[in-house]
């Protein structure tokens, strides 16, 4: 779906009409500013449009969820960011939040309630699963059903929140059979970006985690490595390049798998 066909309204525009959409889509820092992650955002929005989901975004009113500050140990900065966000969200009467970022998902779901931010938080894998099961999202042949695909579990979706089935069910709805890595689900291995590690130099070790994890993924001989986190996407893409496999193996987000290839 081309960019000019995407339909997105800000919460301010919804409010001007005297309405509140069912969901607030929290785009996140990666989804807003990283060129690769923007493609994930656009793919997901195209699916929301296709399913007729009412949602709004904050646009320029959106700030960072505070996850990097929290993981880096700056609790004061995290609480400042969180309280500012809660004031904006509550001002618009937000009840449900969708996010494509497991880091934001975990932060909103498990840490905002302590600061007065009570919301129903949904990861995009969970919403896509729901839309597919309710027949609100009809997926045509995406072009990947005949490909060898492995799935990488994001830490903040899987081990932190116990959600392993939703992304796999979404892929199954697309006719995809997953080739699991040796370490998967609760035994999965981090991509190396969690805990704000993406923003600092690697510590001394035999090899970086993203190299280890990508080697394991490539061991399944995949055509595509699928994940459901922009941070994981970045790290595994770097890993694929490390092994000089970028012309052979694609790294895609769950939402991108569902968007029919032009």
> Which pLDDT tens digit goes with each residue over 193-207?
666 565 556 666 677
Token reading at 153:
């579990």
Which CATH number describes the domain made up of 140-258? Answer: 3.40.50
The pLDDT of 122-145, averaged and rounded, is 86
Question: Quick check: 149 pLDDT over 80?
Answer: yes
CA 136 to chain centroid = 21
Question: Quick check: 32 pLDDT over 90?
Answer: yes
| CA distance readout (Å), 11 to 45, 98, 172 | 15, 14, 34
Q: Do domains 3-129 and 140-258 have the same CATH topology?
A: yes
For the chain, give every domain's residue range: 3-129, 140-258
Token reading at 19:
């309405």
What are 79-89's pLDDT values in tens digits? 999 999 999 99
Helix ranges, 52-118 (H): 67-71, 75-91, 102-110
Topology, domain 3-129: Rossmann fold (3.40.50)
What are 45-66's pLDDT values in tens digits? 999 999 999 999 999 999 999 9
Q: What is residue 2's predicted lDDT score, i.e. its pLDDT? A: 42
Q: What is the DSSP letter of 170?
A: H
Q: For residues 141 and 180, which has the higher predicted lDDT (pLDDT)? A: 180
Q: What is residue 232's predicted lDDT score, i.e. its pLDDT? A: 95
The pLDDT of 211-231, averaged and rounded, is 95
The pLDDT of 105-134, averaged and rounded, is 96
CB-based contacts of 133: which residues, under 8 Å, 6+ apart? Answer: 169, 173
**Residue 120, strand partner residues:** 96
Of the pLDDT bands very low, low, confident and very high (cuts 50, 70, 90), residue 219 is very high
Q: For residues 262 and 130, which has the higher predicted lDDT (pLDDT)? A: 130
Q: What is residue 239's predicted lDDT score, i.e. its pLDDT? A: 94
């Amino acid at each position: 779906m081309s960019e000019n066909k995407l339909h997105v309204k800000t919460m301010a525009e919804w409010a001007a009409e005297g309405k509140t959409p069912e969901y607030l889509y929290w785009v996140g820092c990666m989804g807003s500013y990283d060129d690769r992650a923007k493609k994930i955002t656009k793919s997901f929005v195209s699916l929301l449009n296709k399913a007729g989901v009412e949602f709004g975004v904050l646009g320029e009113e959106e700030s960072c969820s505070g996850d990097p500050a929290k993981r880096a140990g700056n609790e004061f900065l995290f609480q400042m960011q969180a309280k500012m966000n809660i004031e904006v969200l509550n001002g618009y009467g937000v009840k449900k939040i969708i996010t494509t970022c497991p880091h934001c998902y975990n932060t909103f779901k498990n840490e905002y309630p302590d600061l007065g931010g009570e919301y129903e938080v949904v990861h995009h894998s969970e919403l896509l699963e729901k839309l597919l099961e309710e027949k609100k999202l009809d997926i045509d042949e995406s072009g990947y059903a005949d490909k060898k695909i492995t799935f990488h579990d994001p830490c903040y979706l899987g081990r932190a929140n116990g959600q392993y089935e939703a992304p796999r069910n979404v892929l199954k709805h697309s006719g995809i059979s997953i080739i699991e890595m040796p370490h998967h689900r609760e035994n999965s291995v981090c991509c190396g970006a969690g805990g704000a590690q993406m923003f600092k130099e690697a510590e001394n070790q035999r090899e970086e985690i993203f190299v280890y994890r990508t080697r394991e993924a490539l061991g399944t001989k995949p055509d595509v490595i699928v994940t459901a986190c922009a941070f994981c996407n970045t790290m595994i893409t770097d890993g694929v390049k490390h092994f000089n496999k970028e012309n052979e193996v694609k790294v895609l987000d769950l939402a991108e798998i569902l968007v029919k290839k032009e």
